Amino acid sequence: MTNLIGRWLAVAVFLPTLCLATQAESSPNQQGSFVTLENAFLKRSISTVGEVHTTSITNKLDGKILTPISGHAFVIHLRDGRQLSSADFRITDFRKTRHGETDRLSIQLSCSKLLLKAELIYTLNDRDFFLRKQLTLTPEKPLSIERIDLESMQLDEAYQPYTISQITAQGPAQWRPGLGQPLYTKTTGTFWGVEFPAAENTVRDGVLTCSYSAARTIPTGATFTTHTSVMGVSDSPEFIKDAFFEYIDRTRVRPLRLQTQYNSWFDYGGNVNAAKFASSVALVHRQLHKQRGVPPLRAYVIDDGWQNTSADWSQQVWQVNGKFDANFSRSRQATDAADSSLGLWLSPGCLFGGQAAIPKMRAAGFRSLDPWMSLTDPGYMDKLEERMTGLARDGVSYFKLDGVFGHLNTRNFDVPGFKGSEAALNAPQYDPQKIQYLAAGSERLIQMFAAMHDANPDVYIVISNGAWLSPWWLQHIDSVWMINAGDAAGGSTRTQELVYRDGVYHDLAVTENTQFPLHSLFNHEPKKTSSKETKETFRQYLYMNMSRGTGFVELYIKPSVLQDYDWDVLAEGLHWAHAVFPTFKRARMHGGNPKAGEPYGYTGWLPTQGYISLHNPSDETQTYTLTLDRSFGLHPDAKNTTYLLSSPVASWLDGLNEQYRYGDSLRFTLKPREIRVLNFDVTERDWKTLVALQTRTADDFTPPQPIPIADHAILGIWKYGPHTREFKADGTCTLRSSGVEQWTKNFVANSPTQVTIEGTYGHKIQKDGSLNIEGRYTATKVK
């Protein structure tokens, strides 16, 4: 699984001989009081007298030693409430062996309370700044376990950067499970965790615990192997997050790549078919690649609309409807012609686009919740894995898995006594059962992801609604939805859209301190479904969007309505993303809170190149100062580097020097709603392709005169079924269901009888006085 891509520090010489406290292989009575694993980065010393436990950890990058006050090598939580710790085991043997560049320490243990044998395994590679640990259990009679603690020690300097635990069944944007987040130490610069996205890594009262739900019964004589835990080191506790993200990049299932693609949802919605899809594929490829030189998109994705829910899914899940060939042959021909591949959307839990197929599966004995499928049901999950691996084997290179354990408003759990998503499950008292389901479901999904990777090692997998932001997902998939956000960025202007989405970024990365790399976030942008904005407006939005640093760029566009000048700008932004993509590996946010109107932006740096984006979202001129140093994001190897400043847009360079060095400060005076994107390179950057695109088409959009809202006929309350939409003179619309507010969004008037919410959702007053909503609902004015 490990992909050694990149490096943490420039260590030219590794230790030729590790300092060992024991010989390569010997029995306990021939050893001293401890054994060590050691390389050029770290040393971990483990007691072999009495209870096995860690005595010290040396961080060789900064020379500091971490000494636990007390602790256990592991703790086994049994189903009957009892606990077995490493204190309940005696060492019967241990062996230290070397396999290539990796040292392996195996400690054999026997339980003094139960007929149970265990093996504790530590591994350390010469080139790694992190060490792994694993436990196996072999009982002589059935053993029912609940949870395993792979690390449990008193460390007063340990801390938990992400502390939220919000595991709800009901509630819009109230989904922050807090699972699979790392732990750090304050002065010794170490990171810790179980390599499992549903792990419970916590620090409580100074006790560091790396644990996960392992609920199962181990049969007599069978061997159960836990997930691995990891601990690693950085050269400074101030930059422990950088070290942790470097570890994640090294161990992710597939190398980080720039995944650019088209998605059919904002083009056709559920009305997509093979002919329409092929038409859009050809058009996008012609406009972007053939005419403007953008590298071919990696995938073209058929979103919701291809599945046949009237079929019997108990035999094969996610069958294809009559709008497409059974094996997507015409669609694959279209993507092949575009030097690309086919991608598909589907919902593992059948939350979206699959609910109609559930009754037949339930009748066949598959387990469903209310009203979705259980991700721990063996029958359904086996069928899902069979289908997914078959599609991957047949050439589907991308999967958007939308609706895993729930969605923005609702999550469901397989908890005894509940149907699955009752509001009563919001209570924290049920968290252990909910976590148990999430852990078991995650393990089953991971098994499926591994099979998909075996079928197509180049597959790209995104988990969307109902997932959560654990960086350890990236050891199995490629990108994760940013959670607690709407598909469409709210706002009636591009500035408002940016503030909405970037506000969520700030919530995640800054306010909540989520430990997840920005380069693997799925943010559901950029979006371009009309030609009704100027090139400059679209350009600023697009560059700012790309500068967030995500390697997953899915185009939510309506190709048939775009004009030449729109394609010019879109191509320009994609060219820029390709040019700076290597820096996305270290992308991060800087500045203030977008929702508070404070200047902010994104930045990413390697030793030879970097970029900075800036946005003043307010209506007032503001100044902003930054310093080019490691705290801002510059690479530690760049301290003696001189960078040449450039930008694809000449005006973005106004008032700045031609070159900058590490440690220099930049002061900006940003006009209202101003955006700038700056590039820094050790060699001169040539932007002639992008500059040429800026003048390729003389035409541009001319904005119409705005229509005032104050006396618009739509103002008031409109009712349809249990829902109401209230349009106010301040330009906002509030949706309520049975009197409960669901959302408030901005709208603009397009004509005396038409308005659009967030630039997408049309509302038109009919001749009979009724209101047509989005072409889907009819409402009557009640106030």
- Average pLDDT for residues 256-281, to the nearest whole number? 97
566 within a domain of the structure (yes/no): no
Confidence of residue 603 (pLDDT cuts 50, 70, 90): very high
- Residue 705 pLDDT greater than 90, yes or no: no
In a shared domain, residues 50 and 150: yes
How many structural domains are present in the chain? 4
In a shared domain, residues 41 and 112: yes
400-432 pLDDT per residue, tens: 999 999 999 999 999 999 999 999 999 999 999
- Average pLDDT for residues 675-681, to the nearest whole number? 98
Continuous H helices in 229-347: 240-251, 265-268, 274-284, 329-337
Percent of the chain with pLDDT over 70: 96
In a shared domain, residues 441 and 467: yes
Confidence of residue 706 (pLDDT cuts 50, 70, 90): confident
Could you give the CA distance from residue 620 to residue 419 in angstroms, rounded to a whole number?
A: 52
HSE-CB for 525 with a 13 A CA cutoff? 28
In a shared domain, residues 323 and 404: yes
Last residue in a domain, options 198, 221, 251: 251
CA dihedral 628, 632, 634, 640 (to 10 degrees): 30
Confidence of residue 14 (pLDDT cuts 50, 70, 90): very low
Beta strands in 475-551 (DSSP E): 479-481, 521-522, 527-528
Q: Residue 704: what pLDDT?
A: 79
In a shared domain, residues 673 and 734: no
29-52 pLDDT per residue, tens: 334 688 999 999 999 999 998 999
> CATH code at 65?
2.70.98.60
How far, in whole angstroms, is CA 445 from its chain's centroid?
16
Last residue in a domain, options 426, 451, 481: 481
780 or 761, greater pLDDT = 780
181-201 pLDDT per residue, tens: 999 999 999 999 999 999 999
In a shared domain, residues 322 and 225: no
Cβ distance 372 to 358 under 8 Å?
Answer: yes
Could you give the CA distance from residue 760 to residue 55 in angstroms, rounded to a whole number?
A: 61
In a shared domain, residues 160 and 273: no
Q: Residue 5: what pLDDT?
A: 30
Cβ distance 154 to 207 under 8 Å?
Answer: yes
Q: Residue 20: what pLDDT?
A: 32
In a shared domain, residues 148 and 281: no
In a shared domain, residues 263 and 247: no
**What is each CA distance from 121 to 139, 194, 465, in whole angstroms?**
18, 14, 36
Q: Residue 487: what pLDDT?
A: 82
- Residue 551 pLDDT greater than 70, yes or no: yes
Q: Residue 32: what pLDDT?
A: 61
523 within a domain of the structure (yes/no): no
370 or 727, greater pLDDT = 727
Cβ distance 114 to 144 under 8 Å?
Answer: no
- Residue 147 pLDDT greater than 60, yes or no: yes
Report the predicted TM-score, pTM, of the whole model to 2 decimal places. 0.90
465-487 pLDDT per residue, tens: 999 999 999 999 999 999 988 88
- Residue 349 pLDDT greater than 80, yes or no: yes
Phi, psi of 11 (to 5 degrees): -95, 105
- Residue 28 pLDDT greater than 50, yes or no: no
279-304 pLDDT per residue, tens: 999 999 999 999 999 999 999 999 99
Could you give the CA distance from residue 70 to residue 548 in angstroms, rounded to a whole number?
A: 43
- Residue 112 pLDDT greater than 80, yes or no: yes
The residue segments making up the domain with residue 65 are: 28-251
Residue type, 759: G
531 within a domain of the structure (yes/no): no
